[in-house]
């Protein structure tokens, strides 16, 4: 109970500190930096607009984080939670997560298996002590036991590193600037009696800036994947994780050949790479880069 309260307290403190920081930055820019360059926005922008943008930006992000496990389960088809393993595969998954949780001195995450052919796994949850790890049936069928353990260690690395929280903070920050700039532009048009044009400009700006924000968020996500790989390498050695990635890469290549004419993006979520500029929107680095990083660790 105390750990849960501590986690909630840290979330609140972090949120408050970020809001204060944004407010200070806004005041410095509006009252010192921009006027020095002959730009005066003090008549059209105020701290209330920034506060409202922060509430929208961080509020939505943290609500998503708070209910991330429920949202994840709602997105999965034919899934079930493991509490008492009944098969060898369930035993490997459950015992691995339990062992790693004990090593890290954190509460045991919920363990779920969902029916999907893709070899995939993910972790989510608001805090280290309130997390969920899920693996697909495709992962269990594609990888051997050592490789499955290494992938689970990777996901537990995300839990231990607090990646869900830090990604949420970054998303909240990006959302705040998107809302703030959109509201600022809309207000400028309204002051010129062009409210209709202001609404259109605001919507277009939100769309464009949200896309640019996703580039930043996904870049950060790719960095965190390397850290989770490193955690797995330290837990069970780099070799099993390298082998797991190579097995997944073989699946991806076979799937791309089989489904290339049906869905060119079908395997992007596994391989982390769609090629060219689309890599900017990938949440995972190319498998080749991850394997190279693990080899350097070895």
Structure tokens at 225: 């994947």
The pLDDT value recorded for residue 40 is 72
Whole-model pTM?
0.78
Structure tokens at 83: 């509490």
Neighbouring residues of 286: CB distance < 8 A, sequence distance ≥ 6: 271, 272, 273, 279
Active-site choice (110, 147, 155, 225): 155
Neighbouring residues of 190: CB distance < 8 A, sequence distance ≥ 6: 198
What is the average pLDDT value for the chain, to the nearest integer?
Answer: 83
Reported confidence tier of residue 143, pLDDT bands at 50, 70, 90: very high
Q: Which helix (H) or strand (E) holds 136?
A: strand 130-136
DSSP string, 92-130: HHHHHHHHHHHHHT-PPPEEEEE--SS--EEEEEEETTE
Q: What is the pLDDT of residues 272-291, one digit of tens each?
A: 555 566 778 888 899 999 99
Distances in whole angstroms, Cα of residue 110 to Cα of each of 122, 131, 140, 159, 170: 12, 6, 17, 12, 25
- 206-238 burial: b if 16+ Cβ within 10 Å, else e: beebeeebbeebbebbbebbbbbbbbbbebbbb
Q: What is the pLDDT of residues 148-177, one digit of tens each?
A: 999 999 999 999 999 999 999 889 889 888
Half-sphere exposure of 280 (CA within 13 A, CB side): 9
- Average pLDDT on 194-207 reads 89
pLDDT at 112 over 50: yes
Is 146 noted as a catalytic residue in this protein?
no
DSSP 8-state class, residue 131: E
CA distance 140 to 200: 49
Q: Please identify, in words, the CATH class of the domain defined by 70-162.
A: alpha beta
CA distance 176 to 172: 6
């Amino acid at each position: 109970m105390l750990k849960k309260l501590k986690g909630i307290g840290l979330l609140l403190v972090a949120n408050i500190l970020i809001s204060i920081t944004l407010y200070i930055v806004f005041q410095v820019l509006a009252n010192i930096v921009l006027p020095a360059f002959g730009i005066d926005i003090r008549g059209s922008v105020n701290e209330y607009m920034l506060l409202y943008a922060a509430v929208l930006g961080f509020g939505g992000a943290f609500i998503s984080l708070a209910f991330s496990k429920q949202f994840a389960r709602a997105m999965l088809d034919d899934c079930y939670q493991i509490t008492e393993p009944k098969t060898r595969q369930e035993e490997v998954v459950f015992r691995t997560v339990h062992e790693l949780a004990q090593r890290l001195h954190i509460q045991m995450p919920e363990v779920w298996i969902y029916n999907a052919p893709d070899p995939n796994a993910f972790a989510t949850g608001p805090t280290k002590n309130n997390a969920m790890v899920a693996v697909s049936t495709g992962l269990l069928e594609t990888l051997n036991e050592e490789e499955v353990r290494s992938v689970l260690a990777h996901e537990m690395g995300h839990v231990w590193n607090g990646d869900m929280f830090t990604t949420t903070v970054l998303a909240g920050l990006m959302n705040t600037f998107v809302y703030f700039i959109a509201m600022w532009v809309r207000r400028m048009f309204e002051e010129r009696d062009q409210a209709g044009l202001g609404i259109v400009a605001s919507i277009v700006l939100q769309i464009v800036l949200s896309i640019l924000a996703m580039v930043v968020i996904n870049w950060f996500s790719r960095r965190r994947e390397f850290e989770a790989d490193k955690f797995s390498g330290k837990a069970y050695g780099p070799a099993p994780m390298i082998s797991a990635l190579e097995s997944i890469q073989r699946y991806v290549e076979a799937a791309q050949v089989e489904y290339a004419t049906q869905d060119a993006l079908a395997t992007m979520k596994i391989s982390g790479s769609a090629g060219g500029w689309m890599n900017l929107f990938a949440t995972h680095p190319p498998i080749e880069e991850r394997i190279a990083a693990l080899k350097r660790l070895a």
